[in-house]
Structure 1
Amino acid sequence: MITGTEKIINPLQKSALNKKGLCDYVINIASGCLHGCTFCYVPSTPSIRTQQKKLHQKGVENPQLDWGKYLFMREEVPGKLDQILKRKRKWEETPSGKGVILLCSGTDPYQNKKTAEITRKTLEVLIEHKKKVRILTRGLLWQNDLDILTHPNISLGMSIPCIDDELLKRIEPQAPLSSDRYKALQKGYEAKCRLYVAMAPTPPMMTLENFKFNLEQFMKINPEVIFWEPINARGTNGKRMLSAGLEFAKSIMSRQSWADTFIQQWNDIEIAAQQVGCVDKLHIWPDPSLKGFVSKEKIDNWLYRPTIEKWNSN
């Protein structure tokens, strides 16, 4: 593992994730991630590709294929963020992004003790400036911050594609067990945190019954929204999955097979949500690449669609 620190000028960045109903801004408290999820899209994004030379200098041989083996903390984030928010006069607030800040989009804010420390300090700044915050994590250390995470303008979400330790340990080799993530959500529910679930990305072998079982479990912690999308195994994502011995990736590596699986699982999760009684909470993350396989109207129905969550006005 290669770890260290990283300088950053402006930790607060506008985001296009309002197309998923997630946020208008993102903050990343580190570069890289030690969870090593084989499917992760982040190594293929410009934020990593444009840093390849700098990462090479820090000892990272292949920033995309070595994902999960490096992490550079941005310790200056809380201080710089406070300075920026004190000066900032204009705040973006789209109907789908709702002016929310996502912490984080390209790393995990609670993957280890150091990132958890930076995250807590960052949250304290955001609370002071009365910002709406969405946290997305696979980590468990947020349970130490329940004293501030029960704030009405903080929504805490965990990525749990399915509650299946054996399967997810192969796909997300260094992330906490899915059962432990679910137990953490139960603790957050008992503490009266605002919660949501990212049931994403689901592996191709999941069936209607699998979706129904998982939705039934998630509904027990009363999430405000359940986001969903399937695994994408094209490009470097697929190469990392195959190198990890995940043979099922071959079944979704072509555009046609990926689209067929996406459509089947989309149908299954909507049926499961109807059976469980949580259709109103289900929020689909469609991929624009599905155009040509499903109607444009079906995709556009979800792109830039606001979630059902309610946020306090600033």
Structure 2
Amino acid sequence: MKLETERDPDGGWYDRFVQLVDDQGHVVEEFGKNPTLNELREAERRHSTRINLWQQGLVCDECGNQINERFSARQDGHLLCWDCATSSESHEQGGLRINADPTKSVLSESKLHKKSLCDYVINVATGCRHGCKFCYVPSTPAVDNRDEMLDDRADVDDPQQDWGDYLLYRDDLPERVQRGLEETDFQNWKTTDRGRGIVMLSSGTDCYQDRRAAQITRGCVHELIEHDIPTRILTRSPNVTRDIDLFKQANGSLTVGSSIPSFDTSLISVLEPNAPPPMARWEALNELFKAGVPRFVSFSPTYPTMGREDIHEALSWFSAIDPEVVFHEPINPRGINFEMCIEALEDEGLESEADEFRKLQRQGKWVDYALDQIEMVRDVATHFENITIHTWPGRDLIEATNGTQQRKFKQMRRQISPEPFAE
């Protein structure tokens, strides 16, 4: 399917009627004049197709120039050419500063193959509305080295402290992914032993955190499926179920997972202030289970407040949705993000929980905690026939151990996730 436009003889250059036609030229849907980006993207989902918005006769709502290359949209959803989009000021929506993301990269090579997650990542935005206090993303070069851009585009003073308050969308990413894949020499496609050529959405933001992000994600995933590329989706949002129809078209070459570090809502609401509750995430995984979509769980980062009973409860819920794998990592006390976790707990009056987190900052205490929790999770998992734990101990944890324990951790780091979807 494609778009066709027809100028209104009584209007100006940018005054055009837009309609969607099938391969036989039959009109499938009429949009009237100047449809919004939301209307066009939702039509893709409604008709289970991809609509390339480049060079289709669509015009910028501000200057009237035709949309031939990069584009974004205003707050009201009307399309903007790239010149107009990059000159516009950010706007606030529910306390969130929003703008267009000028990032040029489309498909980025990733070191997450070390965790057996992927070889490439696609991020549909910079920033994330969830605002998880423990999130390491703002300290990575992809965000931390772009202070000037973030200040210019979204008035960001500190990428880490402001995490959860800014979101820059990549609205034209599906079009750029399509072009990039069409020009890709797949003989040179990076495929490591543990990454297995997988593309993951998203490592730096939640790709289903709202409808606009979900629309970008759907277009990208559609293109990846068209090119038979193994795809991993990781999200905290129940919005992921909106695309079950698309996931089923992947014929098993795609897996969808959710991050559920705990089912303790009092902790989750403090440490992940704007994220959906853990049970809503589980219910989304259950919908995927019933639809036959391959799924996994990211049991990460688990908290020092969690004992054997808490871990057993979590794995019981995971077992009910029959995941292909459960990725696990205990929380790491490095960085300002860990300090933000402690401050958030204290601000909410959770003093005993804050003390448990604070203890991990003592010399050697984190190592003991991490060792105990990794062993506990793996031991509890043996009580469930359908739970396989994939643990990735960090290098600092390995260096803090020796002998049999160190050899065991090194072996864990070399293991490949048992998921069959990328084979």
Could you say whether these structures have the same fold, taking a TM-score greater than 0.5 normalized by the shorter chain as the test? yes
- Distance across 2 between alignment mates of 1:78 and 1:230: 34
Counterpart Cα distance in 2 of 1:133 and 1:149: 10
1:103 matches 2:214: no
Q: Tell me the amino acid that sits aligned with residue 374 of structure 2.
A: W
Q: Note the C-alpha offset of 1:278.
A: 4.5
Give the match's secondary structure for 2:382.
Answer: helix
Q: Does 1:11 align with 2:109?
A: no
For residue 235 of structure 1, the aligned residue among 331, 335, 350 is: 335
2:218 paired residue among 96, 120, 139: 120
Q: Which residue of 1 aligns with 2:390?
A: 283
Amino acid at match of 1:206: M
Give the conservation status (yes or no) of the 8 Å contact 2:119–2:198: yes
Q: What residue identity is the alignment partner of 1:100?
A: I
Structure 1 residue 274 and structure 2 residue 372: aligned?
Answer: no
Q: Which moved more, 1:23-32 or 1:86-95?
A: 86-95
Instruction: For 1:25-44, list aligned pairs within 5 A.
Output: 25-44=120-139
Cα distance, 1:240 vs. partner? Answer: 1.5
1:72 pairs with 157, 168, 176, which one?
Answer: 168
Question: 1:213, CA displacement in angstroms?
Answer: 1.7
CA contact (8 A) 2:122 2:201 kept: yes
What amino acid is the match of 1:43?
Answer: P
Q: Which residue of 1 aligns with 2:4?
A: none
CA deviation string 1:286-310 (max 9, x = no partner): 1111134323322221224211111
Could you tell me how far 1:202 is from its partner in structure 2? 0.5
Q: CA deviation at 1:245?
A: 2.7
Task: Return the alpha-carbon distance in structure 2 between the equivalents of residues 209 and 182 of structure 1.
Answer: 19
> CA RMSD, aligned part only?
1.4
What is the SS of the residue equivalent to 1:65?
Answer: coil
Shift of 1:45: 0.7
Task: Tell whether 2:159 aligns with 1:63.
Answer: yes
TM-score for both structures, normalised by structure 1:
0.95
Q: CA deviation at 1:312?
A: 5.3
2:311 to 211, 218, 221: 211
**5 Å matches for 1:218-229?**
218-229=318-329
Equivalent residue runs for 1:102-181 within 5 Å: 102-150=200-248, 151=250, 152-181=252-281
Structure 1 position 255, deviation (Å): 5.1
Count matched residues: 312
Q: Work out which of the residue numbers 179, 183, 190 in structure 1 matches 2:290.
A: 190
Contact 2:323 2:386 in 1 (8 A): no
1:244 is aligned to 344
SS in 2 for 1:149: helix
Question: How many angstroms does 1:192 deviate by?
Answer: 0.8
Give the Cα–Cα distance (whole angstroms) in 2 for the partners of residues 312 and 238 of structure 1.
Answer: 34
Unaligned runs of 5+ in 2: 1-95, 347-353
Q: Counterpart in 1 of 2:177?
A: 81
Equivalent residue for 2:6? none
Measure the CA separation in 2 of the matches of 1:45 and 1:38. Answer: 15
Q: Which whole-Å deviations, capped at 9, do the CAs of 1:30-58 have from their partners, x for residues lacking one?
A: 00111011100111111111101211223
Distance 1:292 1:131, change over 3 A: closer
Mapped partners of 1:239, 1:164: distance in 2: 20
Structure 1: distance between partners of 2:363 and 2:162:
25
Distance 1:312 1:232, change over 3 A: closer
Q: Which runs of 4+ in 1 moved over 3 A?
A: none
Distance 2:234 2:214 in 1: 13
Q: Give the Cα separation in 2 of the matches to 1:298 and 1:33.
A: 36
Q: Which has the higher contact order (CA 8 A, sep 6+)?
A: 1
Give percent identity, aligned residues only.
Answer: 35
The residue identity in structure 2 corresponding to 1:114 is R
Aligned-partner SS, 1:134: strand
TM-score (norm 2): 0.71
Distance 1:48 1:189 in 2: 34
Of stretches 158-167 and 237-246 in structure 1, the one that deviates more from structure 2 is 237-246
Q: Is the 8 A contact 1:146 1:191 kept in 2?
A: yes
Distance 1:8 1:209 in 2: 44
Match of 2:85 in 1: none
**Residue from 365, 370, 383 that aligns with 1:262:** 370
1:298 maps to 408
Larger Rg: 2
Give, in whole Å, the separation in 2 of the partners of 1:45 and 1:160: 22
Question: What is the deviation of 1:83?
Answer: 1.1
Distance 1:29 1:132 in 2: 18
CA distance in 2, matches of 1:312, 1:270: 24
CA contact (8 A) 1:212 1:272 kept: yes
Instruction: Name the SS for the 1:303 alignment partner.
Output: helix
Q: 1:57 and 1:134 mapped to 2: Cα distance?
A: 32
